[in-house]
A and B are shown apart, each in its own frame.
Chain A
Amino acid sequence: MRFTLNGQAVSFEGSGARRLLDVLREELGATGTKEGCGEGECGACSVLIDGEVVDSCLVAVGQVEGREVTTVEGLADGGRLTALQQAFIERGAAQCGICTPGMLLAAHVLLQQAGRLTADDVREGLAGNLCRCTGYTKIIDAVLSCTK
């Protein structure tokens, strides 16, 4: 089966019932995507499918055939970080870092969708992403700093 990963065509031989998360990490070397709970609760494994944020632990890889998958590796343009990634660094929005890839992807979608965002909008938009270090304040600050 074939799909697009961060703009590149990729293919995978094996059962389409395997989790997208495992195929990304174990077969395609895209280890930026992290496994947290494996139950769709924590959002650490968030990726985008055709621009929609999903938990990759809940997706059978067969379901992305012909679709476009974006992981954290696909956010930066070559070596140039997005404004959101830069804001995460400057505002200390990462502690242990395991939630960071998922947070970045969920926030990326949120910033694309919405007009002006309030802190409550950001909290709601990132409600599916848990930070085990509880560093939410700086994460929300970083996202808000990228809104117009």
Chain B
Amino acid sequence: MHEVTYIRPRNLADAVRLYRTTPGCRPLAGGTDLMVMLHARTLRPEPEAVLDLWSLAELKGVRRAGDMVEIGAAESYTGIIASRDVQQHLPALAAAARTIGAAQIQNRGTLGGNLANASPAGDTLPVLLAYDAVVVTDRRSIPIDRFFTGYRKTALQADELITAVRFPLDRQVAFRKVGTRAAQAISKIVMAVSRSPARVAIGSVAEVPLRARRAEAALERNDVDGAIAAVAEDIRPIDDVRSTAAYRRQVTQSVLRELLEDVRGAR
């Protein structure tokens, strides 16, 4: 049987070095995506090794850094939900984290994993887009709207590790996920919206989590009906096992209308 080597770095510097120097190595955090693919042997190329980032202290925790909140790439959703700073400044992120799986998944899932996996259905990803989050890596900062480059493709270089995600403090963002049931569902659509600045970020409606630029332009002109019409043109939904393109288009418009009411009410 194909045996994958398990590597446990001592600290972040060690992890960065090992990731650069170990051929065929995949970073592992909570395993909610990677362990499934590893076991089913659906990863191509098949990894020779996994680099375990889960226990690295440098990648844990939620902290205030000046006028930002910084969340470690390997902090669990449970830790994010429990954080005072997240509850106070990033309630939409807490709301999104609560919709991810159930306790078992929230105890293991991480922002770093959601980003690196880059699924168009990743539930936190529209929230990151609506907050204009910044992805911090071992070598640079990447604005979130330049992070997703194609279906499950990211701007990360082959040997680059995500270390944290930074969020601004003072933005009203509303979040909504539509799935087959409240818990443990993969999204049919997932959306996060900010009114000022205008951000309409949607998952499961294209090959990447996307910003609906036409809808945002309409919102900047205070044209709510125009935004709701335009969002149907911004998205590129498909028919798949979870939903149909027609359903997704219609529900995207309804959810956008609801969320715009939510953010107006919150101000």
Question: Which A residues are in CB contact (< 8 Å) with B36?
Answer: 38-40, 57-58
CB of B8 within 8 A of chain A? yes
B1-39: which have CB < 8 Å to A? 3-6, 8, 28, 30-32, 35-36, 38-39
A42 closest partner in B (C-beta): B184
CB of B55 within 8 A of chain A? yes
Structural contact, B4 and A15, CB atoms closer than 8 A: yes
Structural contact, A19 and B35, CB atoms closer than 8 A: yes
Question: Which A residues are in CB contact (< 8 Å) with B108?
Answer: 54-55, 58-59
Structural contact, B6 and A54, CB atoms closer than 8 A: no
Structural contact, B32 and A58, CB atoms closer than 8 A: yes
B36 closest partner in A (C-beta): A39
Given A57-B35, A59-B35: A17 touches B6 (CB 8 Å cut-off):
yes
User: Which residue in B31, B40, B105 is a CB contact (below 8 Å) of A60?
Assistant: B31
CB of B104 within 8 A of chain A? yes
Interface size on B, residues (CB 8 A): 30
CB of B107 within 8 A of chain A? yes
CB of A106 within 8 A of chain B? yes
Given A38-B36, A59-B35, A60-B28: A15 touches B103 (CB 8 Å cut-off):
no
Structural contact, B4 and A17, CB atoms closer than 8 A: yes
User: Which residue in A15, A16, A54 is a CB contact (below 8 Å) of B104?
Assistant: A54
Structural contact, A109 and B103, CB atoms closer than 8 A: yes
Structural contact, A58 and B183, CB atoms closer than 8 A: no
CA gap between A33 and B147 in the complex, in Å: 39
CA gap between A38 and B102 in the complex, in Å: 16
CB of B182 within 8 A of chain A? yes
CA gap between A109 and B35 in the complex, in Å: 24
Given A19-B39, A38-B36, A127-B183: A60 touches B104 (CB 8 Å cut-off):
no
CB of B128 within 8 A of chain A? no
B45-91: which have CB < 8 Å to A? 49-50, 52, 54-55, 78
Given A58-B30, A63-B55: A127 touches B102 (CB 8 Å cut-off):
yes
Structural contact, A128 and B38, CB atoms closer than 8 A: no
- Give the distance to chain A from B99, nearest Cβ to Cβ, in Å: 11
B93-130: which have CB < 8 Å to A? 101-105, 107-108
Structural contact, A15 and B183, CB atoms closer than 8 A: no
25 A-B residue pairs with CB within 8 Å: A15-B4, A15-B5, A15-B6, A16-B8, A17-B5, A17-B49, A40-B35, A40-B104, A40-B105, A52-B78, A53-B103, A54-B108, A58-B31, A59-B108, A60-B6, A60-B52, A63-B54, A65-B8, A106-B103, A109-B103, A124-B102, A124-B182, A125-B103, A126-B102, A128-B101
Q: Given known contacts A15-B3, A58-B36, what 19 new A-B pairs fall within 8 Å (CB)?
A: A16-B8, A16-B52, A17-B4, A17-B6, A17-B38, A17-B50, A19-B39, A39-B36, A40-B105, A54-B104, A55-B105, A58-B30, A60-B6, A60-B31, A60-B52, A106-B104, A127-B183, A127-B184, A129-B102
* Chain B residues within CB distance 8 Å of chain A: 3-6, 8, 28, 30-32, 35-36, 38-40, 49-50, 52, 54-55, 78, 101-105, 107-108, 182-184
Give the 5 A-B residue pairs with the shortest CB-CB distance, closest first. Answer: A128-B102, A16-B6, A127-B183, A17-B4, A127-B102
